[in-house]
Amino acid sequence: MAGALFRTEDVPKEERFEYWRQLVGLTRASEIISAHSGDFWAEHRLMEMGPVTVWPSAFLPTRYRRTGKMVRQSDPELYHLTLMLEGELAFDHAERNGTFGSYDLQLADSSRPYDVRSPDDHEPRVVRGIGVDFAKALLPLPPREMGELVGRVLSGREGPGALLAELLVGLGRQADTVRPADAARLGSVVLDLISVCFAQALDAERHLPQESRQRALALRIRAFIRQNLHDPELAPPAIAAAHHISLSYLHRIFQEQWPGETVAGSIRRSRLENARRDLEDPALRGTPIQVVAARWGFVRASDFTRAFRAAYGLSPRDHRVRALSPAGRADEPGEMRDGVLRGSVFGAPGRPGR
């Protein structure tokens, strides 16, 4: 597990809000108040991942205020990026104010005062998001230009922001399966995507190291493959053309980022994994196997059967019968590897019961 899970329900009711204040105070000093302090609820996971700290959190409406005096007394020189998943927060920071909601990204600077709060703090609606803390010095972008982003709201629904959001949500959902040995490497991927996202917003890609640009391109290619698995024409030449790179450079990216895995092999494996999950889904029991195959880009049923048997040792029909029988195996959790969540679907976690 990459980090410990803290829950207010694990402590007595009268201590829960103070417990939450102490947790948030681990990163920086701020005034924290809530209309729900008498019966507070929150969940918080702290994931130390090399160059970044990722912390998925959910909490009842709360106000976080960092004053100029607090900044002068102690400044960890951090940026804090928030990906909002559920609810809405209003902010006043770096001479900017506004609100941000689902799949918005907002950047805060520990060296400047801020005021962040729920617009309707009396409604007991859970606010859910993922925060990322990282040292300012780790960003390859000029501090003066970064000042233009502080307090701004960026999109987590398109471009590099969408890739970043997808990775962060995947990390939050699969925190228990992230091995400590992988945490620092995945943290570097997070920082690379943050850098690319900021550089694009500032039109400052020239400042990015080649390694960061290549890693971000590799993740964009992976996302493109996932989104187009249904297309029978999906193949290395089409992928290279879509990303305006040569076929040889595409193959080189795969060799460097995922040693031992080819582009065509990645497409085939992903198609088979998705088809296998569909065959194991009780809700799709009545869907003909050839329809499942076509959904994932297999034009000929015979090709699908041959590839499936080679990968899993059973025909698609026999696998479905075994998986859906009472003695069949339970669904297995996904695995986070190489910045890609395998065997699961990215998405925001559900609202917890209270």
66 and 127 in one domain? Answer: yes
What is the arithmetic mean of pLDDT over 20-41? Answer: 89
One domain, residues 8 and 134 = yes
Kindly state whether residue 81 falls inside one of the protein's structural domains: yes
Q: What is the CA radius of gyration of the chain?
A: 23
- Write the burial class of residue 203 (CB in 10 Å: 0-12 exposed, 13-18 middle, 19+ buried): exposed
Mean pLDDT of 11-35: 89
Q: 3-class secondary structure for the chain?
A: CCEEEEEHHHCCHHHHHHHHHHHHCCCCCCEEECCCHHHCCEEEEEEEECCEEEEEEEECCCEEEECHHHHHHCCCCEEEEEEEEECCEEEEECCEEEEECCCEEEEEECCCCEEEECCCCCCCCCEEEEEEEEEHHHCCCCHHHHCCCCCCEEECCCHHHHHHHHHHHHHHHCHHHCCHHHHHHHHHHHHHHHHHHHHHHHCCHHHCCHHHHHHHHHHHHHHHHHHCCCCCCCCHHHHHHHCCCCHHHHHHHHHHHCCCCCHHHHHHHHHHHHHHHHHHCHHHCCCCHHHHHHHCCCCCHHHHHHHHHHHHCCCHHHHHHHHHCCCCCCCCCCEEECCEEECCCCCCCCCCCC
Q: Are residues 319 and 249 in the same domain?
A: yes
Task: Report yes or no on 282 lying in a domain.
Answer: yes
Q: Picking from 166-170, 203-207, 209-213, 325-329, which range would have the lowest pLDDT averaged per residue?
A: 325-329
Give the mean pLDDT of 340-351.
35
Give the residue, 80 or 338, on which the prediction is more confident: 80
- 181 within some domain: yes
**Which one of 167, 192, 221 terminates a domain?**
221
Residues 110 and 189 in one domain: yes
pLDDT band of residue 211 (cuts 50, 70, 90) is confident
Residues 134 and 93 in one domain: yes
Using 50, 70 and 90 to split pLDDT, how confident is the model at 278? Answer: very high
Q: pLDDT at position 328, please?
A: 58
Confidence of residue 139 (pLDDT cuts 50, 70, 90): very high
> Is a pLDDT exceeding 90 seen at residue 191?
yes
Domain boundary among the residues 199, 221, 243 is at 221
- Establish if 44 belongs to a structural domain: yes
Asked if residue 345 belongs to a domain, the reply is no
pLDDT at 352 over 80: no
What pLDDT, on the 0 to 100 scale, is given for residue 353?
38
Q: How large is the average pLDDT for residues 276-286?
A: 95
50, pLDDT greater than 70: yes
Looking at the fold, whether 22 and 94 belong to one and the same domain comes out as: yes
pLDDT at position 354: 37
Does residue 221 carry a pLDDT above 50? yes
Q: Domain of 234?
A: 230-330
pLDDT for residue 16: 94
Task: Tell me the two tokens of residue 132.
Answer: 């990322």
Asked if residue 353 is part of any domain, the answer here is: no
pLDDT at 331: 45
Residues 171 and 260 in one domain: no
* Burial class, 51, CB count within 10 angstroms (exposed 0-12 / middle 13-18 / buried 19+): middle
Question: Are both 258 and 140 inside the same structural domain?
Answer: no
Is residue 211 a part of any domain in this protein? Answer: yes
Looking at the fold, whether 110 and 59 belong to one and the same domain comes out as yes
Domain identity same for 71 and 187: yes
Confidence of residue 198 (pLDDT cuts 50, 70, 90): very high
Q: Is the pLDDT of residue 344 over 50?
A: no
Please state, as a whole number, how many other Cβ atoms lie within 10 Å of the Cβ of residue 134: 22
Same domain for 16 and 91, yes or no, is yes
Residue 336 falls inside a structural domain: no
Q: Are 209 and 186 in contact (CB under 8 A)?
A: no
Q: Are 166 and 223 in contact (CB under 8 A)?
A: yes
What CATH number corresponds to the domain at position 240? 1.10.10.60
Q: How many domains does the chain have?
A: 2
Q: In the predicted model, is pLDDT for residue 63 greater than 50?
A: yes
CATH label of the domain that carries residue 7 = 2.60.120.10
Note whether 67 and 181 are same-domain residues: yes
